[in-house]
A and B are shown apart, each in its own frame.
Chain A
Amino acid sequence: MARPRFSLTRLAGMIRKEFIQLQRDRLTFAMLIGIPMMQLILFGYAINADPKYLPAAIVQADDSEFSRSYLQALENTGYFNFIARVERREEVEHMFTAGEVLFVITIPEDFSRSLVRGERPAILLEVDATDPIAIGPAIAAVQTVTPAALNRDMEGVLQDLKAQPGPIDLRIHRRYNPENITQYNTVPGLIGVILTLTLVMVTAIALARERERGTLEYLYSMPLLPVEVMIGKITPFIVGAYIQVTIVLIAARVLFHVPILGSLWLLSLALILFIIVNLAIGFTLSTIVKTQLQASQMATFFFLPSILLSGFVFPFKGMPVWAQFIGEALPLTHFLRIVRGIMLKDAAAADIWPHIWPLMVILLVVSTVALKRYRATLD
């Protein structure tokens, strides 16, 4: 039996049909435009949280009893999880842009000598302030702990150093979002949330709608390949999604004054991948459901963990391990890191690559499932 071959003519015909239908379907169109506006206004402020065990790195040039007990004191607050000890400044930069750590504590070379002399040596606490809510409690804890952290070591001749303002001069350096503006974190994230919500929904109903209207049987009776149907159904929404993104980006600049530090081209590239992943997920759901109602239920079912476990609502690093595990499987999680990285930290392609390939893997898995599940029969 000759396998039917992929046809560009058919695909183009399918895409054209979907475009016309999208234009005439005012409700879907309104959803594509209306939801971003609504979300943008509603999600102005994020939800409070007190995340602990945030990843931190240490640049420790002075390995003394004093520096060790200071770090121990910080660790005892429960807010820090020292995941790395770095030697060079460049590594610090990389860890920040890639989002591996939220804090870097630098203890200078002559720390213990200056300390003993009563010179109040400076300790630098650098903070990734992209997400102000995530880091707020941790910074407060450092400020409380620092003055008295070395009290036990201040014995004998050092007794006098216990007096205020304490033996250490703590300097905090907030990076990326020095003014602690919550919208800087929320608004770029909203791009991902909005795309997830609307795109999964519109494609999830795609096949169900044809089934309910009775056109699916006719579509099945024509010599169309599953992949032609899938690409045809998805393509118009890529355009729709770009319109959404444009709206949010303009709002980000005009309403919330969120900076866009990185490359727009890089952002567009990452966006297209993320958009296709979401559309593919929606299409996969639509091969499973029978009615449009079920489709929107399934889309909600997918949307809830996406919004809760991706790091949009709750700081990702503050979530329990099992929740992070689920979060890693959601495209939104990776996209949030990408979009925040590009917009707020001027991340380059190499910096976001660790979050790009998981999206590719998700796309591959989801499309395979969709094409396996889509069979052009009514069985």
Chain B
Amino acid sequence: MTGEFVIDIRNLTKRFGELVAVDHVALKVRRGEVFGFLGPNGSGKTTTIRMICGLLTPDEGEGTCLGYDVLTQSAEIQRRIGYMTQKFSLYEDLSIQENLLFIARMYQMKDPAALVEDTLDRLALTARRRQLAGNLSGGWKQRLALGACMLHEPDLLLLDEPTAGVDPKARRDFWDQIHLLATSGITVLVSTHYMDEAERCHRLAYLANGRLLATGTGPELIEQSGLATWRLAGSGVEAVSDQLKAMPGVETVTAFGTRLHISGADHAALEKTIASLRGRADLTMEQVQPGLEDVFIHFLSDAKEAA
């Protein structure tokens, strides 16, 4: 393998009939990085991941994954990546052990039995080895799926919304695992909807309507957005929420419990609007650092306007 980038794709494009699912996307992912892939449903995250691992043939573009050409060497790539699909994709009618053995054999691992034994041990699933995979709870299924795609010791993990429908405790454990893997040198590309998960990534890419809107670390994305955010609190919050949306400089108004986040890229106009509310006794206001969520909602509304 060559170069510092584990994934290096340029102009990757995929069309399904009229629809451009992925539109000239370029990504560079460094070794040992946990790279977060964000965007609303249907933004092209899954399609991009599928093109990287050779499940879909790109209509345009080029690139490498682990030093192999994504267009011509998908067999080599598949041998060295672990792919966790969005839907649980182990065999529900096979037991935990049978599933793992099957995968170990597919990758022609030496001594599959011992390898599976180790994995069961690591996942704390030894006692439940004979249970059918379909009978596991969401959190355990996801643990098993991660264990399964790590079985052949891949250099790169592609995880497509791995924590959808998993409880917060299991999600946290899952992310601890991912960081552990990253420190051992494995690169992880993970798509997600959750902001707390986005914050745990080294770098992020934001995709909407098949276009890559921004890439960088969390703070870099906030910086790039050029967004200013004000936080309003107090008992008058609900009353002003609707009227704020129509006021100059306001792009988004988001309620966080009893607080409102008001964001906009036009700092001066936003400040004027906020100033007009000053003096109301039932409101307090302060300028805050925009959160990733504010930034993503901003990206999204920008993308909608463009479309």
Identify A379's interface contact among B57, B94, B102, CB under 8 A: B57
Q: Is the CB of B106 within 8 A of A4?
A: no
Complex Cα gap A4–B81 (Å): 16
> B56 within 8 Å of A by Cβ?
yes
Complex Cα gap A225–B302 (Å): 45
B residues less than 8 Å from A214 (CB atoms): 85, 87-89
> B92 within 8 Å of A by Cβ?
yes
Identify A223's interface contact among B57, B72, B106, CB under 8 A: B106
Identify A10's interface contact among B72, B91, B92, B108, CB under 8 A: B108
Q: Is the CB of B93 within 8 A of A1?
A: no
> A368 within 8 Å of B by Cβ?
no
CB distance from A209 to the nearest CB of B (A): 10
One of B47-55, B225-233, B249-257 contacting the partner: B47-55
> B75 within 8 Å of A by Cβ?
yes
> A89 within 8 Å of B by Cβ?
no
| B57 and chain A: residue at smallest CB distance | A379
Complex Cα gap A215–B72 (Å): 24
> A7 within 8 Å of B by Cβ?
yes
CB distance from B189 to the nearest CB of A (A): 14
Identify B72's interface contact among A1, A25, A221, CB under 8 A: A1
User: A222-B103, A223-B79, A224-B106 are contacts. A215–B55 as well, Cβ < 8 Å?
Assistant: no
Q: How many A-B residue pairs have CB under 8 A?
A: 82
Q: Is the CB of B106 within 8 A of A10?
A: yes
Contact digits for B67-95, partner A, Cβ 8 Å, 1 yes 0 no:
00000110110110101010111111110
> A269 within 8 Å of B by Cβ?
no
> A152 within 8 Å of B by Cβ?
no
| B104 and chain A: residue at smallest CB distance | A13
> A140 within 8 Å of B by Cβ?
no
CB distance from A232 to the nearest CB of B (A): 10
B residues less than 8 Å from A378 (CB atoms): 50, 55-56
B94-127, CB < 8 A from A: 94, 98, 101-108
Complex Cα gap A108–B257 (Å): 109
| A21 and chain B: residue at smallest CB distance | B93
> A377 within 8 Å of B by Cβ?
yes
A residues less than 8 Å from B78 (CB atoms): 221-223
Q: Is the CB of B90 within 8 A of A377?
A: no
| A10 and chain B: residue at smallest CB distance | B106
| B75 and chain A: residue at smallest CB distance | A4
Contact digits for A196-233, partner B, Cβ 8 Å, 1 yes 0 no:
00000000000000000111011011111000000000
Q: Is the CB of A17 within 8 A of B93?
A: no
CB distance from A20 to the nearest CB of B (A): 6
> A12 within 8 Å of B by Cβ?
yes
Q: Is the CB of B75 within 8 A of A223?
A: yes
Q: Is the CB of B107 within 8 A of A218?
A: no
CB distance from B103 to the nearest CB of A (A): 7
CB distance from A109 to the nearest CB of B (A): 73
Contact digits for A54-79, partner B, Cβ 8 Å, 1 yes 0 no:
00000000000000000000000000
Complex Cα gap A379–B54 (Å): 10
Q: Is the CB of A220 within 8 A of B55?
A: yes
> A24 within 8 Å of B by Cβ?
yes
Identify A1's interface contact among B73, B89, B91, CB under 8 A: B73
Complex Cα gap A10–B152 (Å): 14
CB distance from B295 to the nearest CB of A (A): 31
Q: Is the CB of B83 within 8 A of A377?
A: no
Q: Is the CB of B108 within 8 A of A218?
A: no
A3-37, CB < 8 A from B: 4, 7, 9-10, 12-14, 16-17, 20-21, 24-25
| B81 and chain A: residue at smallest CB distance | A221
Identify A17's interface contact among B55, B83, B87, B102, CB under 8 A: B102
Identify A218's interface contact among B56, B83, B93, CB under 8 A: B83
Contact digits for B159-175, partner A, Cβ 8 Å, 1 yes 0 no:
00000000000000000
B residues less than 8 Å from A376 (CB atoms): 55
B residues less than 8 Å from A10 (CB atoms): 105-106, 108
B residues less than 8 Å from A14 (CB atoms): 102, 105-106
Identify A221's interface contact among B55, B73, B87, B94, CB under 8 A: B55
B residues less than 8 Å from A17 (CB atoms): 91, 94, 98, 102
Complex Cα gap A13–B107 (Å): 10
CB distance from B20 to the nearest CB of A (A): 15
Q: Is the CB of B75 within 8 A of A217?
A: no
B residues less than 8 Å from A25 (CB atoms): 93
Complex Cα gap A224–B89 (Å): 16
Complex Cα gap A223–B108 (Å): 9
Complex Cα gap A9–B105 (Å): 6
Identify A377's interface contact among B55, B89, B104, CB under 8 A: B55
Complex Cα gap A213–B235 (Å): 50
B148-202, CB < 8 A from A: none
Q: Is the CB of A21 within 8 A of B107?
A: no
| B54 and chain A: residue at smallest CB distance | A377
Q: Is the CB of A222 within 8 A of B90?
A: no
Complex Cα gap A220–B53 (Å): 10
B residues less than 8 Å from A21 (CB atoms): 91, 93-94
Complex Cα gap A13–B91 (Å): 14
Q: Is the CB of B85 within 8 A of A20?
A: no
Q: Is the CB of B85 within 8 A of A222?
A: no
Complex Cα gap A223–B53 (Å): 11
29 CB contacts below 8 A, A to B, read: A1-B72, A1-B73, A2-B76, A7-B108, A13-B105, A17-B94, A21-B91, A24-B94, A25-B93, A214-B85, A214-B88, A215-B90, A215-B91, A217-B50, A217-B85, A217-B87, A218-B83, A218-B85, A218-B90, A220-B55, A221-B54, A221-B81, A222-B78, A222-B107, A223-B78, A224-B106, A376-B55, A377-B55, A378-B55
Residues on A facing B (Cβ under 8 Å):
1-2, 4, 7, 9-10, 12-14, 16-17, 20-21, 24-25, 213-215, 217-218, 220-224, 376-379
Residues on B facing A (Cβ under 8 Å):
50, 53-57, 72-73, 75-76, 78-79, 81, 83, 85, 87-94, 98, 101-108
The 6 closest A-B pairs by CB, nearest first: A13-B105, A218-B89, A214-B87, A221-B83, A222-B106, A4-B75
